Structure 1
Amino acid sequence: MVQEIIILLVFVAAAAYLLRLGYKSFFSKETGCAKGCGSACSTIDLAKIQREIEGKKSFK
């Protein structure tokens, strides 16, 4: 019985953690990703991507 309660608590904690990550990734007002490391991993620079594609085409 005690083991089942411990497993249930671990499962509930893991589910709460995953829900929190999902909430932060979709509804956070801050910029960046849900990891909270402060990097610009979720920032997409389309102009930079276009320049890299054009640069690769010019080498062919």
Structure 2
Amino acid sequence: MDVQVFIVGVLFAAALFYVGRIVYRMFRPKPGAGGCASGCGKCGADFSKIGETARIHAN
């Protein structure tokens, strides 16, 4: 019985590690990613001038 509990504990710990790694990699910014928050790297949008552009279009 003790060996079975140990094996289940190891499998459970491995599953927690696997899910934790997926969650960590989901929120970690990727190196070389674009400027958006998703970090997919597809867009290189520059949001630094968005306020200036909004004021220009508001007039």
TM range (shorter): 0.3 to 0.5
Q: TM-score, normalised by structure 2?
A: 0.45
Larger Rg: 2
TM-score by length of 1: 0.45
More helix by share: 1
